[in-house]
Structure 1
């Protein structure tokens, strides 16, 4: 019998959790593999569960009603007995299957294993944690150490019946006990290292297992399986007992116990007990996105997002400043020009893929997006080589390295932003900034001067940042393998490139028409304004989830747009003052110190003013419309750049450049607002 012909039964015990039960059932009905039956056991509910189940008209769903509650284990056994399928798997009523769970488990199912299982996500509330995301063959000694199979498995129905199902006499650990009996009788189990369902950690819900129940269950479990448990297993259960009780473990106990395995789990427990306050705050943050401690809450919810968002601009300011101070201003001119091209390519061919991680329909498809983004990486690399031979790029070796490093770094940035994981981003950006400051200083102290110094510094710094976000990543696998239409990617690429091009074309223009030192100051001024955009970009990143929501309405969008516009004005005025003062301190004339940031400020304001409308359109499938609007701006910017590069516009006519670029943005923003309003009106009317 092929796996595609195997029928799967899903047993769901439930008691007084009607709304959660509906979500659980829906998650099964949406499975990519449809040869299944559901059996729900209503364990004496009084909240309308029976009426809901009675009114279901779906041949895949049956239910059993317990007039008197008999408990979850006995209810599961009744469901398994009533199902007539080849295989069975369970689902608790407050958890949900991810869409490919049954299909993925069937793809690895093999009768030689007692059963197969998978990893899962533990949903704390605001954040999810990936557990068991590594594939593993689980032997009996492994299973007796600790439950390494999660709380749900896929197994032959007859096998569960042959070992008498779940033990209703155990007050907890019933799933672990059954898995051990199945492995003891039928051999090793197999765990697929992919998260295929979500476990809810809502502590407000009624839970089967209290601390006392778990402690009593540990004693009963050990007595029941004592004959097959080794000294290692008993030592690990001794640790498990202390963990449940919340006992502290001394350093000597940790060293002694670690020789029996599970060292990572034991070390985490030891640290959490030694740092109880920090552990408590971590759980609060995972559950609610904030903590009770006011100072720590400010650090996690305000300062870390600011640092994470403003980091890229800040690190470039530090890099350029450090190189100017320690290695000379002339060294940064070519880097500023090449970096302009580099960021254009990164925006068009890397961030255009990463943007989809923010969309609701691609949540959990990170690995799939990352794999597809390699097409963008190879394309940007090829274009970079062509630009080098055309004489536009000064340094091909370092820029190629930066294209690759920044590609992966920005893809991981999008993943963190989508999950509001700003703390890790803040750490990586601090390390990048520190490297940008320290390496030029060390070069200067050692007498190292080279025109490629800024390239080398930024390569090393960004590599440090990339390694940091990858090491501290949650290592979760994709929930889905969703393909991004390349047409949509192209539309996003055009949309996001226009603003970058209009702003970052100034370093290239300045290199063509100014002295190298002046061109370096222009690049530095733009980087200073990137820091000024720290607060607006943070607000934008934190608003992404709201704007991506399918229930977004015009009032919410208008509120976001109004707040963002105010922040842009305040940030740009502050950026103007800071940048002008900074340039004067560096020794540039006050006329140029003011005129350069004023021009850049107006471009920033005009380019960012339509953010909310444009982003909401892109997040709701209107990428082509946004691309058309931004293509208009991009065309104006390209024409201006060509006229300047060919010296058709000379220095005396530079005052025409700013109105042309800003005018394009103003027209785009006005049209975006009208289109967004029309879209919401259509949705509302329908």
Structure 2
């Protein structure tokens, strides 16, 4: 495959939506600007921050590649969509304000768009703590390439910040759902998977920061939204998946929520109800039986 750096480099727009992340935001912006890929722009959308975000962005005031947009606090989906509306690139990428990019991210991922059927290119992740020290963490899910809807409906295996998308995906399949406060990436990937192939590279191009202030730690709200997203997708595309796979998707949803609650709260009755509901959806789903055994033996 010919490296796209040897040809004209298409413009990549990088959207960073931020809220009260002044301690980490400059590092995120600098990591994007440090790319080997030269043709890029960074769009920082400040979703009504009350900290020193504006002050921390002043250092980029003379860099024409960086745009800083301040808005009232309207939530992350609206902030990300504002970034998408401002983006001028043929390709669009993302970086959360508390995370970082590897310098070679775009050089690694952009050549994988050579196939015009590929709409999303994503990669593997490495982890750091709140101080920037490396954290060892196992890969949570298998990754997939190609037509991925049947896999994606079970698990969201695409780490959001690693993804680069074609603008054509937005034009054809839409932007983030502003009615969803969480899980907006899974909703987006499900819709994109209907018309586009996904391409995975095992290289670690994204550095995810694990710290106490993350929204992703709110597991109950996360699952509330996941239920909404799955139901929405199945209603929008009722003939896309066989009934057996739909049943498995619901089984996994209930079992996953049950185990999340069991692990976080050390409770029994609510997780048991969820796991049994999952088994009613799909009695052949072996992770549900494994989860039931772990719960009964108090090994969660």
TM range (shorter): 0.7 to 0.9
CA drift of 1:107 comes to 2.4
Structure with greater strand share of residues: 2
| Partner residue, 1:45 | 49
Q: After the TM superposition, which residues 537-576 of structure 1 pair with which residues of structure 2 at under 5 Å, given as runs?
A: none
Q: Distance in 1 between matches of 2:125 and 2:202?
A: 9
Which residue pairs with 2:299 in the alignment? 275
**Aligned mates of 2:289, 2:123 — CA distance in 1:** 22
Say which of 34, 39, 50 aligns to 2:38: 34
Q: How many residues align?
A: 269
1:563-600, Cα deviation, whole Å (9 max, x unpaired) = xxxxxxxxxxxxxxxxxxxxxxxxxxxxxxxxxxxxxx
Task: Tell me if structure 2 keeps the 8 A contact 1:235–1:257.
Answer: yes
Q: Which residue of 1 aligns with 2:266?
A: none
Change (3 A) 1:15 1:250: closer
2:10 to 6, 27, 31: 6
* In structure 2, C-alpha distance between the alignment counterparts of 1:38 and 1:61, rounded to whole Å: 5
Aligned to 1:245: 261
TM-score (normalised: structure 2)? 0.78
Shift of residue 257, structure 1, vs aligned partner? 6.0
Question: What SS does structure 1 have at the residue aligned with 2:89?
Answer: coil
The aligned residue for residue 146 of structure 1 is 155
Q: How far off is 1:147 after superposition? A: 0.3
Other structure's SS at 2:96 match:
coil
Contact 1:86 1:156 in 2 (8 A): yes
Measured after TM superposition, the shift of residue 105 of structure 1 is 0.8
1:91 alignment partner in structure 2: 95
Give yes or no for the alignment of 1:120 onto 2:125: yes
Give the SS at the match of 1:47: coil
Distance 1:139 1:154 in 2: 16
Secondary structure of the residue that 2:215 maps to in structure 1? coil
Query: Aligned ranges for residues 253-652 of structure 1 at < 5 Å?
Result: 259-260=284-285, 263=287, 271=294, 274-276=298-300
SS at match of 1:107: helix
Work out which of the residue numbers 158, 169, 177 in structure 2 matches 1:159: 169
Q: Is 1:14–1:42's contact at 8 Å kept on the other side of the alignment?
A: yes
Matched, 1:225 2:233: yes
Is contact 1:18–1:49 with CA below 8 Å preserved after alignment? yes
Matched, 1:212 2:228: no
| SS of equivalent to 1:155 | strand
Q: Is the 8 A contact 2:227 2:253 kept in 1?
A: no
Distance 1:44 1:260 in 2: 44
Tell me how far apart the structure 1 counterparts of residues 87 and 289 of structure 2 sit (CA, whole Å). Answer: 40
Query: Conserved in 2, the CA contact under 8 Å of 1:144 and 1:180?
Result: yes
Structure 1 equivalent of residue 203 of structure 2: 194
Corresponding residue for 1:76? 80
Q: Deviations over 1:100-155 (max 9, x none)?
A: 11111112223212311111124456622242686643511111111011213111
1:9-62, CA deviations, whole angstroms, 9 ceiling, x for partnerless residues? Answer: 110011111121111112112222222111000111122211332442111111
Q: For the residues of structure 1 that align with 2:13 and 2:157, how far apart are their CA atoms? A: 23
Offset, 1:193: 1.9
Aligned equivalent of 2:146, options 129, 137, 142: 137
**Partner in structure 2 of residue 530 of structure 1:** none
Greater relative contact order: 1 or 2 (C-alpha under 8 angstroms, separation 6 or more)? 2
SS for the counterpart of 1:114 is: strand
Deviation at 1:167, TM superposition (A): 0.9
> Following TM superposition, by how much is the alpha carbon of 1:168 offset from its aligned partner in structure 2, in angstroms?
1.7
Secondary structure of the corresponding residue to residue 65 of structure 1: strand
Q: Is the 8 A contact 1:113 1:189 kept in 2?
A: yes
CA contact (8 A) 1:171 1:209 kept: no
Moved more, 131-140 or 235-244: 131-140
TM-aligned CA distance change 1:70 to 1:113, over 3 Å: same
Q: Does 1:15 align with 2:39?
A: no
Instruction: Say whether 1:25 aligns with 2:41.
Output: no
Structure 1 residue 224: deviation in Å? 0.5
SS of residue matched to 1:193: strand
Evaluate the alpha carbon distance shift between residue 165 and residue 15 of structure 1 in structure 2; reply closer, same or farther with a 3 A threshold. same
Give the number of the structure whose residues are more often helix, by fraction: 1
The Cα of 1:2 is off from its aligned counterpart by 7.9
Structure 1 residues not aligned, in runs of 5+: 277-686
Tell me what 2:267 maps to. Answer: none
Report the RMSD for the aligned CA atoms in angstroms: 3.1
Q: Deviations over 1:386-437 (max 9, x none)?
A: xxxxxxxxxxxxxxxxxxxxxxxxxxxxxxxxxxxxxxxxxxxxxxxxxxxx
1:173 equivalent to 2:177? Answer no
Task: Tell me, in whole angstroms, the C-alpha distance in 1 between the residues paired with 2:197 and 2:293.
Answer: 31
Which residue in the other structure is 1:63 paired with? 68
| Cα contact 1:215–1:244 (8 A) shared by 2 | no
